[in-house]
Amino acid sequence: MLLVIADDITGAAEIAGIASQYGLDTIMTTHHELPNGNHDVIVFATDTRSSNEKDACNVVTEIANNIKGKDHITFFKKTDSVLRGHILPETIALMSVLQLKKTLLLPQNPSKHRIINNGIYFINGIMLDKTAFNYDPEYPAKTAYVTEIVGANAVSLGIEDSISDNTIYIADASSIEDIDTQLSKADTETLVAGGADVFTAFLKKVFPSITLPCQDIHVPYSESTIIVCGSTQSKSLTNEQYIKNTKAKEELMPDNVFEGEDATQWISQLKETYITNNVIIIGIGAKKNGGKLCAIRLKAIMADAVACLAEEKTPSLLIIEGGATAYSIISRIGWNYFNIVGEYAPGVVGMTHGNTHIILKPGSYPWGKLFEQ
């Protein structure tokens, strides 16, 4: 059994989607206890990236304590691909509880043109701090040097370098072949951590007989659909073919609500729109970055809005962009366990809870061809 602890729900969904694509029995949960059933892969979706450092460490420590000592279990720590969050303290906490001697961290995804070379992070050839991640409301990228991002206790690991105990390594890798080379250095006393590319390689190491099946999934027919775009950087979906076909109604957050006024009237308006339309898009719209406190307030408003709509009529399809927004909504509604359906595009993952089909997408990933149907 492979257990994964992720620091946000869309990252957890991305990992679960990959495992599901390989035909593995995969479940995702927001609870901290080991779920019942004999599953191949269990992904714990937390929201520690949006928590303070102490609370983040308490969450991963609680999960690790609940599962340590179980037989035939392998661990993987899912981190943000561009190193947002409390990566170093969470890693140290896990190493302590699981009694592991070192960590091999490969956050980058060369398959998406995200690489680390000589300890410097590049996206499409541009240094991380020169990209849009410099404007992230919670973890703005102020440097591209990975050891400076993660912390002083982390060490950069070149392709030719070897590893030793009592160290947290952030490994260079500019290709999938480099990922494989670096992963080969891990032993049974190593906590392997990182993004989707290293997880895929690690999955093949844990389950050597798996093969990638041909999978073709489509957005299911829905009598009631809620689409949530929880970022100020979200692009409008109104020109997408699926949105046109379904005659979706887009409702953007009014400026006065964004700036701090009460959202009750706007949520009431959303409710009226939802009752009279099969498909509603709820978005923040193009707004100036308001910082971390603003981001926390906005995701709470979106969660209250969706919970209000779901109480009126449970959606048969719920699509959410943005990990912090997704976790806030899922928690507010009270859903905890999810059966994974598969990937619509890299990182765009479908799952079910009861009669609701849910699709989650990280804010920095494209939708792929999801809405071209």
The full set of domain ranges for the chain reads 2-206, 225-372
* Pick from 8, 17, 4: nearest CA to 359: 17
% of the chain at pLDDT higher than 70: 98
What confidence score (pLDDT) does residue 244 get? 83
pLDDT band at 357 (very low <50, low <70, confident <90, very high): very high
- Answer whether residue 136 shows pLDDT above 80: yes
pLDDT band at 186 (very low <50, low <70, confident <90, very high): very high
Average pLDDT over residues 41-48: 96
b/e 84-117 (16+ beta carbons within 10 angstroms → b)? bbbbbbbbbbbbebbebebbbbbbbbbebebbbe
b/e 17-31 (16+ beta carbons within 10 angstroms → b)? bbbbbbebebbbbbe
More confident call, 159 vs 365: 159
What confidence score (pLDDT) does residue 285 get? 81
Which residue is listed with tokens 């389950």? 207
pTM of the model: 0.87
What confidence score (pLDDT) does residue 153 get? 86
- pLDDT tens, residue by residue, 200-250: 999 999 999 998 766 667 777 788 999 999 877 777 788 888 888 888 899
Which CATH number is associated with domain 2-206? 3.40.50.10840
What confidence score (pLDDT) does residue 214 get? 61
* Pick from 81, 46, 88: nearest CA to 66: 46
Q: Which sign does the torsion angle of CA 257, 260, 261, 264 carry?
A: positive
% of the chain at pLDDT higher than 90: 73
Q: Which of 62-66, 156-160, 247-251 has the lowest mean pLDDT?
A: 247-251
- pLDDT tens, residue by residue, 323-352: 889 999 999 999 999 999 888 888 899 999
pLDDT band at 261 (very low <50, low <70, confident <90, very high): very high
- Answer whether residue 63 shows pLDDT above 90: yes
More confident call, 70 vs 54: 54
Answer yes or no: are the C-beta atoms of 323 and 8 closer than 8 Å.
Answer: yes
Q: Which token pair is 202?
A: 């690690």
Answer yes or no: are the C-beta atoms of 191 and 100 closer than 8 Å.
Answer: yes
Answer yes or no: are the C-beta atoms of 323 and 10 closer than 8 Å.
Answer: yes
Answer yes or no: are the C-beta atoms of 114 and 122 closer than 8 Å.
Answer: yes
What confidence score (pLDDT) does residue 236 get? 78
What confidence score (pLDDT) does residue 201 get? 97
Could you tell me which CATH class the domain 225-372 is placed in? alpha beta
Average pLDDT over residues 130-134: 94
More confident call, 281 vs 288: 281
**Cα 83 from Cα 150, distance rounded (Å):** 7
* Pick from 45, 27, 25: nearest CA to 35: 27
pLDDT, averaged across the chain: 92
- Answer whether residue 288 shows pLDDT above 80: no
End-to-end CA distance of the chain: 36
Q: How far is CA 258 from the centre of its chain?
A: 24
**Cα 306 from Cα 312, distance rounded (Å):** 10
- pLDDT tens, residue by residue, 296-327: 899 999 999 999 999 999 999 999 998 889 99
